[in-house]
Amino acid sequence: MTQPSRGGEYDVAVIGGGLVGSALAWGLARAGQKVAMLDEGDIAVRPSRGNFALVWVQGKGLGMPEYAGWTKKSSDDWSGFADLLREQTGLDVAYRRPGGFMPMLSEEDLQARANTMMRLHNQPDMIRYPYEVMDRETLRKELPFIGPDVVGGTYCPLDGHCNSLRLLRTLHKGIGLLGVDYRPNHRVERIEHRDGGFRMTTAGGEIRAGKIVLAAGHDSARLAPMVGLSAPVRPQRGHVIVTEKTAPFLHHPTVYVRQTDEGGVMIGDSFEEAGFDTTLQPGVSSAIAQRAIRFFPLLGKLNVVRSWAALRVLTPDGFPIYEESKTAPGAFVATCHSGVTLAANHALTLAPLIAAGGLGDSFTPFSAGRFHVPQAA
């Protein structure tokens, strides 16, 4: 392990202990950095504990083909990432890549989906990947328990899923084994760039580091301007339902329904602009449950064991922000709403680049500067 760089007790301080921060801290420590991970602790509004656990490729990147390529790369690297975690920690995050489906309930929706996928793949510089638009009979061969309202859907062999709560637990175990100094209850109040590094005033005292990575989800919007960066993120609420365990019937994840490795069924999702309110809305839960039963009628016989609402971290265009500060070199921001899908990239690609000192030109499209381009009169 290297000696801490000038200006800090640590080579890198990662601010945020969710899936994005944990994956980066893990990757930075593997790259030989002395790392502190500063976290709010259990009081945090943590999207990492409320997500749907998909490792999803199909449909992503319309409007930014670079994001489609970045997503595909992470999906391709996820199997090796899961193997590394298992070898290190002894924990299996239950990653599977059987291919995923997006079923449709009307011919109009199916045609719209097919058109979207065509537009996505017709973009300049798009890294294309296989997908298929299926009619009902073709889809039923793969998903034999679909209901009579399902007219067809799309399929991509690159899609998969995992146990995301176990992934967070595994990453936290892994960073401990790598010597990362995990500091819960260290909410960062102020960041100063001085003496060749960074000083952070936290609820638990002062922390110094040569580099910092803002991976604090919604709180990155507050922290980023302190180091000359921008993270215009907002919360978006989504509901999830989990049923009792049942016999295996769904061997592929779908965008709305998936059967977990433990046998329960997860049902989602909703898109609500409700600020930071995570209050469960029975009407929303009822609507997504009814839709799920149209997809798979057998779900109507299962008991619900829990349901919750959680918050996505969204940029104005929905794509990630990765950037190094021009005015405070060594300060980076990493924010996205696909912390599960992109975990392999964050750990195996992004973290080593930060450890080496910079992101490179390939990350230019992910700069927050894209939100500040003057509009033509």
Q: What is the pLDDT of residues 22-51, one digit of tens each?
A: 999 999 999 999 999 999 977 666 676 678
Question: pLDDT tens for residues 219-250?
Answer: 999 999 999 999 999 999 999 999 999 999 99
What's the average model confidence in pLDDT over 71-83? 98
Which tokens belong to 253?
């994840």
For residue 129, which amino acid is it?
Y
Question: pLDDT tens for residues 244-280?
Answer: 999 999 999 999 999 999 999 999 989 999 999 999 9
* Mean pLDDT, rounded, of the chain: 94
pTM for this prediction: 0.96
Choose among 256, 258, 326: nearest CA to 294. Answer: 256
Q: Kindly give the interhelix angle for 19-30 and 164-177, rounded to the nearest 10 degrees.
A: 30
Please spell the DSSP secondary structure of 235-298, one letter per residue.
Answer: EEEEEEEEEPP------S-BSSEEE-TTS-EEE----B--TT-----HHHHHHHHHHHHHH-GG
Question: pLDDT tens for residues 181-206?
Answer: 999 999 999 999 998 899 999 999 99
- How many angstroms separate the first and last alpha carbons of the chain? 54
What's the average model confidence in pLDDT over 50-56? 92
Return d(Cα 8, Cα 103) in angstroms, integer: 52
Range with the poorest average pLDDT among 150-154, 288-292, 306-310, 328-332: 306-310
**Helices first, then strands: H and E counts in the chain:** 9, 17
What is the number of other CB atoms lying within 10 angstroms of the CB of residue 176? 13
What's the average model confidence in pLDDT over 128-156? 98
Phi-psi region of 214 (alpha: psi -120 to 50; beta: other; left: phi over 0): beta
Domains annotated on the chain, with CATH: 10-50+165-233+317-375 (3.50.50.60), 100-157 (no CATH), 234-314 (3.30.9.10)
Per-residue pLDDT, 375: 57
Question: pLDDT tens for residues 346-377?
Answer: 999 999 999 999 999 999 999 999 998 765 44
What is the enclosing helix (H) or strand (E) of 174?
A: helix 164-177
Which tokens belong to 315?
């940029």
Per-residue pLDDT, 374: 63
What's the average model confidence in pLDDT over 152-169? 97
Per-residue pLDDT, 6: 46
Question: pLDDT tens for residues 163-184?
Answer: 999 999 999 999 999 999 999 9
Per-residue pLDDT, 325: 98
What's the average model confidence in pLDDT over 89-111? 98
Question: Parallel, antiparallel, or unpaired: how do β-strands 331-335 and 321-324 relate?
Answer: antiparallel
Choose among 340, 307, 326: nearest CA to 369. Answer: 326
What is the number of other CB atoms lying within 10 angstroms of the CB of residue 100? 24
What is the number of other CB atoms lying within 10 angstroms of the CB of residue 118? 11
